[in-house]
């Protein structure tokens, strides 16, 4: 799982500085976890996002944005509560925001419902 700066967001996701109409530039669906180091629920969500990043590798990209370091980026999406998780489909559909930490199963359901990406089959 990678961290996104404002510049990386503009290059990999959406150029919010120069475009007014939503236009996702990535190749795969994306989940962006807006967090802060001091946020307790964010710390609980972090290992879940790490697990999802590994499980959906190559199918869904998962990034983290530190709202303390990237205030302009957080402001562009109206982030007022954290954790906030942004789901960005790869087609032209608008992104969807989830506020607050959810269970891993709920994120898997959202990945399936929003992105149409089925849960990976565990290999033993």
Enzyme catalytic residues: 39, 42
Whether residue 45 contacts residue 62, with contact meaning beta carbons closer than 8 Å, is answered with: no
The DSSP string of 34-92 is: EE-TT-HHHHHHHHHHHHHHHHTTTT-EEEEEETTT-HHHHHHTT--SSSEEEEE-SSS
């Amino acid at each position: 799982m990678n961290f996104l700066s404002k510049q990386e967001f503009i290059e990999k996701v959406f150029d919010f500085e120069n475009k007014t109409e939503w236009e996702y530039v990535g190749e795969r669906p994306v989940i962006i976890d807006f967090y802060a180091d001091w946020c307790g629920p964010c710390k609980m969500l972090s290992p879940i996002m790490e697990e999802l990043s590994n499980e959906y590798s190559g199918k869904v990209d998962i990034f983290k944005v530190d709202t303390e370091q990237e205030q302009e980026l957080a402001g562009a999406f109206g982030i007022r509560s954290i954790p906030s998780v942004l789901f960005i489909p790869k087609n032209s559909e608008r992104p969807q925001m989830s506020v607050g930490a959810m269970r891993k199963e709920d994120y898997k359901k959202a990945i399936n419902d929003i992105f149409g990406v089925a849960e990976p089959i565990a290999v033993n």
